Structure 1
Amino acid sequence: MKKSPLLLGLVIAVTFIGGILTGVILTKNNEKQERPRTLIIENAPKSAIKPNAKELPKLKKAPSKVLIGYVQDYRDPNMVDYSKLTHVIFSFVHPTKDGAVLFNGDQPLKNLRTVVAKAEKHDTKVILAIGGWYHIKGGESYNYFKPAISNPKSRAKLVKELTNIAVREKLDGIDIDFEHPRSTADAENLAAFAKELSAQLHPKKKELSIAVYSKIHAVTLTEVGFVQYEPAMFQYVDHVNIMAYDGQWDDGYNAANLSPYPFTEKIVNYWSNLFDTLKLSKEKLVLGVPSYAQPEDPKIKQVSFAAIVDNNPASASKDTVKMNGTTYHYNGSQTMRKKTRLALNFGFGGMMMWELGQDAQGSHSLTGSIYSELKASRKEPVKYYAVKE
């Protein structure tokens, strides 16, 4: 049946009005709901509405500079200023010819455990050094260390013993102080020892460092050949602690050659060039400095920097002092700052001190002087350069 035009018009009008009313009601209800917090831009391209997520570029973190201090096993652990040190190297345990490890009695082991407990409060790492110049059974450690690392069986035993101690005592690593490899065979055996020890320590997140002879003659300022190292060895260690002191024995006794600045310049230049040639990071290199004084009269014993400061605090910034009827040569606070800047300018990884028990306490501390210079260097760019021959 056909609908009349009037009826058809009425239906269309009602439908149109109903649609408007429905839209108004829905709009009112939506206004009562929480608005979405995402900003929607009308007529924006899809890339603006749904941007592709991109990771921020990873910035390479600048390596932090280390301040390493050796401390002898009989020292009071309370005298160490752990807050300024990144590493404390506890010295020494002694190797036997068959690869065993000896502590110098019960007290050193107790001291080591105290050092570990105190260092942990300052996030300072503790490393145990094996070797040194003098052996617990008398004489040079060389005569015990050499056979221990020359035989594959005793070398493997020594590696296992040191690794077990590092794990058991909750240490952060091991330091090798073999004084000194005197032949190609010595150098190769030392490299093999470092490689095997590294293979055990590094998977356990523990470090391996090595103390090395300066390789520079304090008088001629030329390379010394009687101490030999296998260059491949340095790839296995985290820190190479350069013993840039004790030059007083070169070409006859002369206390002034203990560790003068020109001597240190040559040492830094030598090791910098060597690592550049080997294409190894110079961040591994750590410049060692002394905290003791050498007397011009060889019949008189060395004295600590602490003794010099106790005698006269004004001597803290100097490099010589007259005491006990003789003149002593040492590195005062100004020279320590200068040497620290030298190491940084060459791109070295930091500084090392032998040894903490001889340093002064308080404001005249050499540890404090080095720490302040390292801290100040973080605020300015460092230029790497080499000394001209």
Structure 2
Amino acid sequence: MKKLLLLSVVFIASVVCAQTKDQVTIIGYYAGDAKRIDDYDVTKLTHIIYSFCHLKGNKLNVDNKGDSQTIQHLVALKKKKPGLKVILSLGGWSGCEPCSQVFSTAAGRNEFARSVKHLNEYFKTDGIDLDWEYPAIEGYPGHRFVPEDKHNFTLLLQELRQVLGDQYEVSFAAGGFTKFLQQSIEWDKIVPYVDKVNLMTYDLVHGYSKVTGHHTPLYSTPEQTESTDNAIRYLDSIGFPKNKLVIGAAFYARIFDADVDASNGLYQPGKFDRGFSWNQFDMEALKKEGYVYYWDDVAKAPYMYNAAKKKIITFDNEQSIALKTKYAIDKKLNGIMFWQLADDKPTGGLLDVMYKAAHE
């Protein structure tokens, strides 16, 4: 009898463990076409967020026939991965120019919410992800932002939940930096309306930065406060549910020119040069160019520096991705997401590392 009871306990524990692992959200934003997605193993994802739809008037709009075909193909992938969620995304860095104005009125919010429901019903997709960069603070140059955006964003989420009900997911891409966290969102008021907050804990050093640093570090350093952990600690401190938080990883690198040859290029005056995808990342070729690989054990972030050229490359790699994934599990977050799938290597890429770390 005792042996039977012990076996039952072991079985239940193993089921609970398996369920916990299965519940680790792995979200991939996707900005490719209908064909390229087939290069990747979508069974390792729980969600694909199609990027991007835009506003046409007050309505969510799929821009052209090619976009429609891509969405339809993404939905068809559910046959490969039962339970896969395909989410429509609004906006992007430069794609939300009219958002502040449209979402400033009840009529605009309602028409938008109804259009979201219509498109989800039409495509058989599973929800909406709002990528408005940013409510109430400056984002893309020239885009309107006003203090009222902060409360209007709450009203927008409320309207979406009311129109969509519980059948569809509602999420948004949130800036992972302090100013956004403190000024853009009414965190205490949005809790009932959102399923997930996708924290863009990348581009923390970005195209407009005047000092170099890690663009997607896990932890803060004495020289750089902005980090994944900094964002999570802030939101936890104000009581936002951790089980609705998704941290972000970058499947691309950023190169900066450092004005001063010091500290291996980190935390120096400088400017952004260019970015490139992980699928173009060739460590050996970079070493031949004069780049040296470094691992920052405080930030838990890799970087490379070329002293002759005074150029620094900041990125996520296999080691940092595995640590971020484990962090999401250990902190009991909703999961981890990344920008974006078409930047990955089709085989042996960062998604493979993320999936393995989530299921070990």
Q: Choose which of 354, 364, 381 in structure 1 pairs with 2:339.
A: 354
| Structural mapping, 1:190-269, within 5 Å | 190-203=153-166, 205-216=167-178, 227-231=183-187, 232-249=189-206, 252-263=209-220, 266-269=227-230
Asked if the contact 2:177–2:227 (Cα under 8 Å) also holds between the matched residues in 1, the reply is no
Q: Which residue of 2 aligns with 1:302?
A: 275
| Structural mapping, 1:6-155, within 5 Å | 62=20, 64-74=23-33, 76-96=36-56, 98-123=57-82, 124-135=84-95, 141=96, 143-155=97-109
- Note the residue ranges of structure 1 that are not aligned, 5 or more in a row: 1-58, 136-140, 217-222, 377-389
The CA distance in 1 between the partners of 2:176 and 2:250, in whole Å, is 13
Q: Which residue of 2 aligns with 1:51?
A: none
> Which segment drifts farther, 116-125 or 308-317?
308-317
Asked if the contact 1:292–1:303 (Cα under 8 Å) also holds between the matched residues in 2, the reply is yes
Give the superposition deviation at 1:322.
6.5
Q: Secondary structure at the match of 2:229?
A: helix
Decide which structure has greater strand share. 2
Q: Which residue of 1 aligns with 2:352?
A: 368
The CA distance in 2 between the partners of 1:128 and 1:134, in whole Å, is 17
Count of equivalent residues: 302
Give the superposition deviation at 1:166.
0.5
Give the superposition deviation at 1:248.
1.6
Give the superposition deviation at 1:95.
1.4
Asked if the contact 2:293–2:303 (Cα under 8 Å) also holds between the matched residues in 1, the reply is no
Give the superposition deviation at 1:272.
4.4
Asked if the contact 2:53–2:60 (Cα under 8 Å) also holds between the matched residues in 1, the reply is yes
The CA distance in 2 between the partners of 1:194 and 1:316, in whole Å, is 43
Q: Which amino acid counterpart does residue 256 of structure 1 have in structure 2?
A: G
Give the superposition deviation at 1:254.
4.0
TM (normalized to structure 2)? 0.75
Instruction: Provide the identity percentage.
Output: 25
List per-residue Cα deviations over 1:202-256 (Å, max 9, x = no partner): 34x211111101133xxxxxx6677410121132111110000112239833453
The CA distance in 2 between the partners of 1:272 and 1:343, in whole Å, is 12
Q: Secondary structure at the match of 2:205?
A: helix
- Note the residue ranges of structure 2 that are not aligned, 5 or more in a row: 1-14, 137-145, 258-270, 296-301
The CA distance in 1 between the partners of 2:127 and 2:284, in whole Å, is 37
> Which segment drifts farther, 178-187 or 144-153?
178-187
TM (normalized to structure 1)? 0.70
Give the superposition deviation at 1:268.
2.9
Q: Which has the larger radius of gyration?
A: 1
Q: Which residue of 1 aligns with 2:6?
A: none
Decide which structure has greater helix share. 1
List per-residue Cα deviations over 1:67-118 (Å, max 9, x = no partner): 000001546232332110000000010114x412232321111111111102
Q: Which amino acid counterpart does residue 120 of structure 2 have in structure 1?
A: A
> Which segment drifts farther, 149-158 or 295-304?
295-304
Q: Please tell me the root mean square deviation across aligned C-alpha atoms, in Å.
A: 3.0
Give the superposition deviation at 1:66.
0.2
Q: Which amino acid counterpart does residue 308 of structure 1 have in structure 2?
A: F
The CA distance in 1 between the partners of 2:87 and 2:214, in whole Å, is 30
Q: Choose which of 320, 324, 330 in structure 1 pairs with 2:315.
A: 330
Q: Which residue of 1 aligns with 2:330?
A: 345
| Structural mapping, 1:176-187, within 5 Å | 176-182=130-136, 183-187=146-150
CA gap of 1:304–1:251, structure 2 versus 1, over 3 A, is: closer
Asked if the contact 1:272–1:282 (Cα under 8 Å) also holds between the matched residues in 2, the reply is no
